[in-house]
Chains A and B, each alone.
Chain A
Amino acid sequence: MRHDRRLALLRALAVVLLSCVLALPQGCSFSASSRGSSNSSESSSDSSASSSGSSSPESAEKQYKSDVREYTAAYVKTGGQFDAFRRGLGDIAKKHNITNWEDNTVTYEGIGEGLGEAKASELQFKAYMDGLAGQDASKRAAMQKGYDAKKG
């Protein structure tokens, strides 16, 4: 009786070990956080410095502009309240360590590019420009530059 129980235990152990061996060579990169670690400048518990050195300011700026462009182009397609759109710009900027996004011309260039990419009409573009850049010449110029670059 005791022998049988020991045998069953050994068999169960063997099954568990075999399952481990079979299961181990599968799977993909796993991250415990839903945000993962790809874009984090610090992905591990063992680094308090940027893990690969921070990306260059040019590349960070490019990435910010690209995110604003995508967000704007999507908004033109999906619609939604304008103040919600503006609030969303704040969230995107904060992910790029920018709190005062209104004072950053890259924001406006990105918005212009997004409008161009979404094929917004000149009339629509003008409305966005008035609503976001107001009468500020440099912001308007940045939006126009982005729009012209992408409207095709």
Chain B
Amino acid sequence: MAASCRLLALGALLLALVAPAAAEELGRRVDYLYIEANEGGSSGGHVALGLGDEVFHFEHRSPGILVLGVDDLEHFRYRYGVRENRTIHVSRIPVSEETYGLLVDRFRRRHFLQTRHLDVMDGLERDRVTLEQMRAGALVIEAAGLFVAPEGTGVDPDLAALRSRVRAVYGEDVLDRRIEQLHSRLAELDPAALDLPEPPSTELPPVPTYSFPQRYRDLVTAVAALEILRDARPLAPGALVPSLDFREADVVVAERLSDALSSALVRLVGSERPDSGGALLVGMARLTALAESLRENRWIVVDGFPADAATADSRPDVEDELMASITADLARTRERLASRSGEGEFREAEFASFEAAANRLAELSRARAERRERRILGASLVPSRPAPRAVDAMDPSALARGLEAVRARQEAYAAAFKRRWGYNLVTRNCVSEIFSEIDAAFPGGAQESLARLGGRIDMDGSLNFIPAVSAASVTSAYPVAERVEVPSYRTWRKEQMYERENPVAVFLRESNTLTSAMYRHNADDSIFVFFTDDAVLARPLLGAVNLAVGLAASAVGLVTLPADGGKTLWAGLKGAVFSLPELFFQNIRKGSFGHVKRDGRPEPAPLPREEMSGGD
């Protein structure tokens, strides 16, 4: 062990002598972020690596895998520092431009590699669903539900106008011709030629494949879209959501958007891309919404909520802030649309942001008025209201064989992924993977890592796998130039209150969940009374009270189990368990916060707490 350390140090010294980077000015920095524990997602704390505005961190995800996520710095701080109320400790290590570039490159590639494999697994799941739907005789087509069913009557004037443009460009019979071609291609598809992706075996990303179920789904979707255009089928009831009234300038903006989108859709009909159907469905719905907006003199958007949208409890205190925040989002995205509309392009991603903000605001108002839970719009902002579509029967035994093969490939793929990137509390966790990737970023591995960064942490046989221990090791092993503490949201708010109010009153009021002016019980939190993160000496005593409250809540939860599905029981049990460390002067639970509006958050720049000389 000692010999290998000496060899490592010698290697590092040699590399330091020859590496040109060593002579460079250390103009960049790498931030090692230690995020304090809290109940919930990471009760043992968490670590991350900050490279510029990007934060890379390994998350333990279901089912037992470790995945590299990347966040922008502001979102990361909001998630962990504000919502999850954790203090973040930053250790800054100066590095050269070249070293910085190699690290960014390595972490981005790892993120890309895993994302691609996860995408492939999602694709396999879609294939399974497609085959099951084919066996049942009807495919569920995304966005087809935005339009009335084929047996519905009526002609939409705006789609009729688009149809005329399409026919003028490609010929009068173009739509029938295209639909016929697609049917022929569907008939030619061989269910035995599945073309499924191979499970991961190397460090290379997966080879792109185009599976039989995916081809089938794309072709059926394209047929559905072209039929809707051919028949100029109107939008289904409830497919449109009214939003802001037009300002004077908005008329021109909507006209420009409509023209640009219409031209883009004409080009799309002529495209040979395999997945044009979905884009055509969404585009046609948006075109109709824009036309309706111009008629109504107000913004009208397509309903963006997916059929299986999650819902959230309504809480008046949170919703007032949400309403203000979404209104600001809507205004911002509208300004953006207006300022770019003169460029003659339909900027889809920007339009989707505006559409999503309009949907969120309308949903919040409706849920309030109807006194129901509100639906939540996820990361995907593309309208997708589905509709079933009958498909021609295929050889049932071929479909059954295909389904079996897809399921087997799903299992094999997931197993291979887990073998390669499985989570282990001690040997492969958020800490170990960061240092493993740092070493792998350099051609010379561990030796070069030591030379370039001026330090290195060994995971073998140490307690460095514990986030808090690793943070201490970083400050001693690396030439940390600066240490910064970003206080948790509650700490930050309390400091503000201390400045404005009587400190004793603030201390007493904010010491517990019952009288706190800033904390409202969050559904994700356990049941407890006293905050103990800032009460070190009294912690065991307050912890004992919290334990008693948690146990009492559990007892109540047993009684209310049939009524609340175990919510109180679970919150009470969690409350009791997270009180236990407090009896031994340890704090994990800090409470968490719901949505915090932008102007109620700490400044993005972290507050320096301690400065150390160091670095090269």
Q: Do A and B bind each other?
A: yes
Q: Name A residues whose Cβ lies closer than 8 Å to a Cβ of B.
A: 17, 20-21, 24-55, 57, 59-61, 64, 66-67, 70-71, 74-75, 77-81, 83-88, 90-91, 94-104
**In the complex, B112 has a CB within 8 A of chain A:** yes
Q: Across the interface, which residues of B come within 8 angstroms of A29, CB to CB?
A: 35, 41-42, 46, 57, 59-60, 430
Q: Is the CB of B466 within 8 A of A26?
A: yes
Q: Is the CB of B60 within 8 A of A57?
A: no
Of the stretches B115-123, B241-249, B448-456, the one at the interface is B115-123
Q: Please, which residue of chain B has its CB at the minimum distance from the CB of A78? A: B207
Q: Is the CB of A38 within 8 A of B70?
A: yes
Q: How far is the CB of A17 from chain B (nearest CB, A)?
A: 6
Q: Is the CB of B379 within 8 A of A39?
A: yes
Q: Please, which residue of chain B has its CB at the minimum distance from the CB of A88? A: B208
Q: Please, which residue of chain B has its CB at the minimum distance from the CB of A79? A: B207
Q: Please, which residue of chain A has its CB at the minimum distance from the CB of B348? A: A98
Q: Name B residues whose Cβ lies closer than 8 Å to a Cβ of A.
A: 35, 37, 41-47, 57-63, 65-67, 69-72, 74-75, 78-79, 83, 108-109, 112, 116, 118-119, 121, 123, 195, 204-210, 214, 218, 264, 267-268, 271, 273-275, 278-279, 282-283, 310, 312-313, 315, 318, 322, 325-326, 329, 333, 336, 345-350, 352-353, 360, 363-364, 374-382, 423, 425, 429-431, 465-468, 522-524, 577-578, 580-581, 584, 586, 588, 594-595, 598
Rounded to whole angstroms, the CA-CA distance of A48 and B350 in the bound complex is 18
Q: Is the CB of B349 within 8 A of A46?
A: no
Q: Is the CB of B271 within 8 A of A25?
A: no
Q: Interface residues of B: mostly helix, strand, loop or mixed?
A: mixed
Q: Across the interface, which residues of B come within 8 angstroms of A24, CB to CB?
A: 37, 43-44, 577-578, 580-581, 588
Q: Is the CB of A84 within 8 A of B209?
A: yes
Q: Across the interface, which residues of A come within 8 angstroms of B429, CB to CB?
A: 27-28
Q: 12 more A-B contacts (CB under 8 A) besides A28-B42, A46-B524, A57-B349?
A: A25-B588, A30-B41, A32-B61, A45-B313, A48-B375, A74-B205, A77-B205, A78-B207, A84-B207, A88-B208, A98-B349, A103-B268
Q: Please, which residue of chain B has its CB at the minimum distance from the CB of A89? A: B273
Q: Is the CB of B45 within 8 A of A35?
A: no
Q: Is the CB of B60 within 8 A of A34?
A: no
Q: How far is the CB of A131 from chain B (nearest CB, A)?
A: 10
Q: Across the interface, which residues of B come within 8 angstroms of A20, CB to CB?
A: 577, 580
Q: Across the interface, which residues of B come within 8 angstroms of A61, CB to CB?
A: 349
Q: Interface residues of A: mostly helix, strand, loop or mixed?
A: loop
Q: Is the CB of A27 within 8 A of B584?
A: no
Q: Is the CB of A86 within 8 A of B274?
A: yes
Rounded to whole angstroms, the CA-CA distance of A79 and B70 in the bound complex is 27
Q: Is the CB of A96 within 8 A of B349?
A: yes
Q: Is the CB of A84 within 8 A of B578?
A: no
Q: Is the CB of A31 within 8 A of B60?
A: yes
Say whether, besides A21-B580, A55-B72, A100-B283, A48 and B374 are in contact (CB < 8 Å): yes
From the candidates A30, A55, A85, A97, name the one contacting B208 in the complex (CB within 8 A): A85
Q: Is the CB of A102 within 8 A of B310?
A: no
Closest 4 pairs (CB-CB, A-B): A38-B69, A28-B430, A99-B279, A26-B44
Q: Across the interface, which residues of B come within 8 angstroms of A39, CB to CB?
A: 69-71, 379
